[in-house]
Amino acid sequence: MSTADGLQERLGLNSDVSLGLKTAAVLTYVFLYGPIFVILVMSFDAGRYGLRWEFSPEWYLNLATRGDLIGSLWLSLQIGVVVMIVSTVLAVVAAFGLVRFDWPRRKGALSTYLIFVPLTLPIIIYGIGLFVFFSQLGLGRGFIPIVIGHVMYTFPFATLVVAAGVIDLDRSLEEAAMDLGADPITTFREVTIPALMPNIVAAALFSFTLSFDEFLISFFVSGAGSIPLPVRIWGMVRADIEPEVYAISVVVLVISMTIAVIATRLRRF
Amino acid sequence: MSSSSELSGGETTAPSGFRARVLTMADNSRLKGLTSLGPIVTLLTVFYAIPVALLIVYSVFVDDPFVTAITFEHFARFLDLSAVISLQIGDLPYVRLLARSLGIAVVVTVLSLIIAYPITYYLGQHAPERWQMLLVLLVIIPFWTSYLIRTYAWIPILSRNGFINGALGALGLPTVPLLNTYWGSIIGLVYVFVPFVILPLYASMRSLDASLIEAARDLGASRSAVFREVVFPLTLPGALAGAVFVFIKCAAAYVTPALLGGTSGRMFAQVIETQFGTAFNWNFGAALSVILVAVVLGSLWIAMRLGIDVGKSRGLGGGGL
Amino acid sequence: MSSDLHVDGVTKHFGDVRAVDDVSFTVEEGTFVTLLGPSGCGKTTTLRMIAGYETPTTGRVTLGDRDITDEKPYQRPTSMVFQSYALFPHKTVGENVGFGLKMRDVPSEERDRRVAEILELVELPGTEDRAIDELSGGQQQRIALARSLVIEPEVLLLDEPLGALDLKLRKNMQVELKDLQEELGITFVYVTHDQEEALTMSDEIVILNDGRIEQRGTPAEIYESPRTRFVAEFIGDTNLLDGTYVATDSGAYLECGSVEFPVEPNPAAESGATLSVSIRPEKVSLEESAARNGGSTETDITLDGVVDDVIYQGNVAKIHVRIGDSELISERHVVNSTDLPTPGSECRVRWTKEHADVLVE
């Protein structure tokens, strides 16, 4: 009986299930990408909320004249690069600290918790806290507070990515290098870092894109003179009168997706 | 080096040589550990722990911290005991808002699980091997893109004359209010968070041994029985890990309800933002923040007590809501 | 000047665990010595202390007159071939093999020449520019060997280097490694859990169990005269007869249930002790009829029994014989399978006294 069942399955009954699952999968992808497609469609729509969609590149052309948007994009890229560098360096150091040293049980656990708390607490709480903190210090808002907030937010993620590499790293590679006459510093430079490179690059790209797209922390600690792009987009969406928002969003999505594709090719998931 | 080797030659001096060596090594290693984690722990303390702790400080002062008196009035304003005793739920607007936020978080979590199961079952067990990488990549990419943009993309879809109502109208059906409603918040949150369930669940589905399914089928289990008896229990840990993450992130959501939820979809984080943004009542805002953090950490604690491996979801990262 | 390797009273603790316990042995220059034992016996830890990855808790490691106990791995004239090969995945074959020379500041021209030479030696000439992941497991193994040999170490340490290869390749490599060692005259310290590998390749075997040395000796000594029950069971198959050991002035014998037979006296064993005697199955001969005359003599032991079971294995057969309460296996070459005895038939087993070893625990 069971073999007959199996045969029936192979002959096509099973495809019902497959078909159902496949349909569900397709619908999920439509759900995931539909809104992104909508942004793309809207960015080329001549009239907005008009009854008819008409192709027009005018919003993209308008972007060139929007100095405020270009400035915010440039600021976000700058912040992203600084955050990427700082966060990645911290992540490499932290990953080795966490994975490689035998901590007395409690101290090890404490530093682990401290590093990973930022992953669980609501970002909005941190944004507000940072805002209050800088107000108290009289340092106000701007580039430096944003960078600090973003580093605290991105580097735990970056640490996880690098630490995964350090854990997987075959210790005998480093031992072999030392065995062949490389001192610890040479070993680190010649073997450890190159072997970890995919993880380090993935962590860097991840840090950059998290910072580039970050809104809530920036929302609370950005000032009049330095508004990162997500905060600018938020303002445009709330004001609801600037159709260029779709065009600039497409630019942001293209940058993020390009980085995502590069990064996911580097690292197994 | 040479002197130490001479020292440890004799029987009596050997232990002290050994001890000295162990101590130097331990010191060394701890030194290395301190130099690697010390600066990071310092940075986190100064720029993360202190800012968050500052909110706790604010929450217990009448106004400016350490200048004005210590008080619990801000917490009392949240939880008015006289209203609790007289069961005047209507006089507890903040409690009701928190309850609604948690309710929305539960609904979003359940909907995310319902959406995640079929696609991950397909990806993990049925998808052709050569497409698998690409298909999973397609789930990961949204992680790396702006949740703000992906959220406001729903405005033209959900609005009164947007895509959905346009389609309903074309079919001669009555339109439904979606944007700026309770369901607006829920749809937006499910959209943003469903990948957080899909990815850990996919990992569980992938590691599920296909021969277990075949064995169950072979023993006469129907397809639904296979799912109920084999697939579901074995993949539940991955699903729950993602679900906990979605729940705690939803409970504190701000951007999505602010853009899509209107009044009926309003959530707790929005009222916190109001205290700092427009009401300028930092102390009350800080008290509400402390309550939100307590709820999040409490949920995590309960999840861990229930044996859910919260760490499974952590590594996936992305999306700051 | 000789550069024999001395491991002298070495002990290693990991926390409360004593991984290696007072181990001493000498490896003569140019010999092939195997550290053999089950996993967790301390053989790898011992090797790692010779290589310098672990520091002994107590004890010294010396090479000739040079005390290397506290030297770092990169200061020692030893080199290691890892079980996982530990080839650098981001470097080419040539860069891997040349790594040690580069660390020694050997000029690149000479480096290239020596790399080419050593690749020739391991029969992979011209593979300098290949990527590591393009190589098969066996080829990677050779590259790992070449990488260690090219720096001309005084001692080559090998940590189960053939463990990841399939059986046939492993057998070939065993012979090749032994030939290579003899050709180069480098001291090899080899770690394995595979007793057959140890017997095939070694000049001397050091058997470790639970962090201690059980026995040292040439392969023949180890196989033919095991001193402990552990060694007898670990190396090859054996018959173990348990009984009471009785030593008298005129000789020693074992009381084994209803039978007793003479054994070689063992000075390490106390008279009256309960212990085991090991007899290799191929040393036990079998006579199919119990009708022949003659019992045990002082050097030849004969016991009557009944054939219990006959296990045919192609070139050999194992015949299980019941003698009183004990069972004994006799192994013989099969020339003609019809000559094998049938279960239930009476028989007589015979062995020479010197082939039965009195074991201490």
List, as one string, the DSSP characters of C77-122: SEEEE-TT----TTSBHHHHHHHHHHHTT--HHHHHHHHHHHHHHT
Q: Which residues of chain A have a Cβ shorter than 8 Å from any chain C Cβ?
A: 170, 172-173, 175-183, 186, 190-191, 194-195, 197
With CA atoms as reference, report the closest residue to B47 among A135, A129, A91.
Answer: A129
Domain with CATH 1.10.3720.10 in chain A: 66-266
In single-letter form, the type of residue at position B243 comes to A
Q: Would you say A211 and B320 are in contact if contact means Cβ atoms under 8 Å apart?
A: no
Q: What is the dotted CATH code of the domain comprising C5-229?
A: 3.40.50.300
The C-alpha atoms of residue A111 and residue A97 are separated, in whole angstroms, by 10
Indicate the burial class of A141 (C-beta count within 10 angstroms; 0-12, 13-18, 19 or more).
buried
Contact A56, A67 (CB under 8 A): no
Contact A179 C80 (CB under 8 A): yes
Q: If you classify domain A66-266 with CATH, what class do you get? A: mainly alpha
Mutate one of C48, C80, C96, C106 to test the A interface: name it (highest A CB count within 10 A): C80
Please say whether the structural domain C237-359 has been given the CATH code 2.60.120.10. Answer: no
Kindly identify which residue of chain B lies nearest to residue C56, measuring between CA atoms.
Answer: B18
Q: How many angstroms separate the CA of residue B10 from the nearest CA in chain A? A: 30
At B228, list the tokens: 């109920």
Q: At what angle do helices B13-44 and A105-120 cross, to 10 degrees?
A: 20
pLDDT at A104: 67
Within 10 angstroms of residue A121's Cβ, the number of other Cβ atoms is: 19
3-class DSSP state of C361: coil
SS3 C356: strand
How far, in Å, CA of B262 to CA of B264, rounded? 6
Distance from CA of C107 to the nearest CA of B (A): 31
Regions of chain C with pLDDT less than 50: none
The reply to whether B160 touches chain A by the CB within 8 Å rule is no
Backbone φ, ψ for residue C323 (5° rounding): -125, 105
Distance of CA B38 to the CA centre of its chain: 28
Q: Considering the entire predicted model, what is its pTM?
A: 0.81
In whole angstroms, what is the distance from residue C208 CA to residue A13 CA? 60
A52 touching chain B per CB within 8 A: no
Q: What is the pLDDT of residue A106?
A: 61
Sequence ranges of chain C with CATH classification 3.40.50.300 = 5-229
8 A C-beta contact, residue B287 and residue B74: yes
Structure tokens at B262: 């209107």
Q: Cα–Cα–Cα angle for A203, A204, A205, nearest 5°? A: 95
- Beta pairing, strands C32-36 & C187-192: parallel
The pLDDT of residue B30? 65
Q: Report the chain A residue with the minimal C-alpha distance to residue B274.
A: A128
Positions in chain B whose pLDDT score sits under 50: 1-15, 19, 22-23, 26-27, 314-321
Q: Hunting for tokens 């217990």 — which residue is that? A: B60
Whether A33 has its CB under 8 Å from any CB of chain B: the answer is yes
Q: Which H or E element spans position C320?
A: strand C316-323
Q: How far, CA to CA in Å, does B47 sit from each of A79, A111, A182, B44, C222? A: 17, 15, 39, 5, 67
Gap from C3 CA to chain B (nearest CA, Å) = 19
Window 101-140 of A: residues touching B by CB (8 A cutoff) are 101-103, 111, 114-126, 128-133, 136
Q: How far is C99 from chain A (nearest CA, A)?
A: 7
A177 → closest Cβ in C78, C83, C99: C99
CA distance C322 to C332: 17
Nearest to C318 by CA among C328, C326, C306: C328
- For B121, nearest residue in chain A (alpha carbons): A21
**Chain B positions in Cβ-Cβ contact with residue C13 (cut-off 8 Å):** none
Rounded to the nearest angstrom, the minimum Cα separation between B133 and chain C is 21
Instruction: Identify the CA nearest to C225 among candidates C34, C360, C32.
Output: C360
Nearest CA distance, C325 vs chain B (angstrom): 46
pLDDT of A5: 46
Helix H, strand E, coil C: the string for chain B is: CHHHHHHCCCCCHHHHHHHHHHHHHHHHHHHHHHHHHHHHHHHHHHHHHHHHHHHHHHHCECCCCCCCCECCHHHHHHCCHHHHHCCCHHHCHHHHHHHHHHHHHHHHHHHHHHHHHHHHHHHHHHCCHHHHHHHHHHHHHHHHCCHHHHHHCHHHHHCCCCHHHHHHHHCCCCCCCCCCCHHHHHHHHHHHHHHHHHHHHHHHHHHCCHHHHHHHHHCCCCHHHHHHHHHHHHHHHHHHHHHHHHHHHHHCCCHHHHHHHCCCCCCHHHHHHHHHHCCCCHHHHHHHHHHHHHHHHHHHHHHHHCCCCCHHHHCCCCCCC
- B228 in contact with A at a CB cutoff of 8 Å? no
* Chain B, nearest residue to C12 by Cα: B18
Residues paired with residue C80 on neighbouring β-strands, in sequence order: C157
Half-sphere exposure of C90 toward its Cβ, with a 13 Å CA cutoff? 13
Q: What angle do CA A94, A98, A99 make, to 5 degrees?
A: 115
Q: Which two tokens stand for residue A184?
A: 């610890």
Nearest CA in chain C to A169: C86
**Neighboring chain A residues of C80 at a CB cutoff of 8 Å:** 175-176, 179
The CA-atom distances, in angstroms, between B175 and each of A22, B160, B169, B188 are 30, 8, 6, 19
What single-letter amino acid sits at C361?
A: E
Instruction: Inspect the interface and report whether the beta carbons of A175 and C80 lie closer than 8 Å.
Output: yes
Nearest residue on chain B to A265, alpha-carbon basis:
B137
Q: Which residues of A fall within a CB distance of 8 Å from B145?
A: 36, 213, 252-253, 256-257, 260
The CA distance from B89 to the nearest CA of chain A, in Å, is 27
Q: Which of C251, C247, C241, C223 is nearest to C303 (CA)?
A: C241
Q: What percent of chain C has pLDDT over 70?
A: 98
Query: With contacts defined as CB-CB under 8 Å, which chain B residues touch C67?
Result: 2, 5
Residues of A in contact with B317 (CB under 8 A): 119, 157, 160-161, 206, 210
Orientation of helix A244-266 relative to helix A229-239, angle to 10° = 140
For residue C318, list its beta bridge partners. C311, C331
The reply to whether residue A38 touches residue B156, judged by beta carbons under 8 angstroms, is: yes
- Give the pLDDT score at B83: 78
Where do you find CATH 2.40.50.100 in chain C? Answer: 237-359
Q: Do you know the residue count of chain B?
A: 321
- Average pLDDT, consecutive stretches of 10 residues, N- to C-terminus, chain A (269 residues): 44 62 93 94 77 81 90 96 97 88 66 77 95 88 93 92 88 92 89 93 94 95 90 92 89 93 71
The answer to whether C80 faces chain A, any CB pair under 8 Å, is yes
Strands (E), C104-209: 155-159, 187-192, 204-209
Beta-carbon separation of B144 and A18 below 8 A = no
C-beta of residue A196 within 8 angstroms of C-beta of residue A165: yes
* Closest by Cα among C268, C332, C261 to C298: C261
Q: Which residue has the tokens 């296909």?
A: B210
| pLDDT at residue A14, as a whole number | 54
* All domains in chain B, ordered by first residue: 17-53 (no CATH), 93-313 (1.10.3720.10)
* 3-class DSSP assignment, residue A159: helix
Per-residue model confidence (pLDDT) at position A128: 96
Distance CA B28, CA B21 (A): 10
Enter the ipTM: 0.88
- Does residue B41 sit at the A interface (CB-CB below 8 Å)? yes
Q: Do A172 and C86 touch (CB under 8 A)?
A: yes
Q: In terms of Cα–Cα distance, which of A165, A170, A148 is closest to A202?
A: A165
Chain A residues near residue C72 by CB distance under 8 angstroms: 178, 183
B4, B14, B18 member nearest C70 (Cβ): B4
Q: Shortest CB distance from A175 goes to which of C86, C87, C89?
A: C86
SS3 state of residue C76? coil
C63/C71 Cα distance (integer angstroms): 11
Give the bridge partners for C88, in sequence order. Answer: none
- Closest residue on chain B to C68 (Cα): B5
Residue B267 with chain A: CB contacts under 8 Å:
none
Whether residue C70 lies within 8 A of chain B, CB to CB, comes out as yes
Integer Cα distance of C19 and C12 in angstroms? 6
Hey, is the C-beta of B227 within 8 angstroms of any chain A C-beta?
A: no
Query: Is residue C172 less than 8 Å (CB to CB) from chain B?
Result: no
Contact, C82 vs C48, CB < 8 A? no
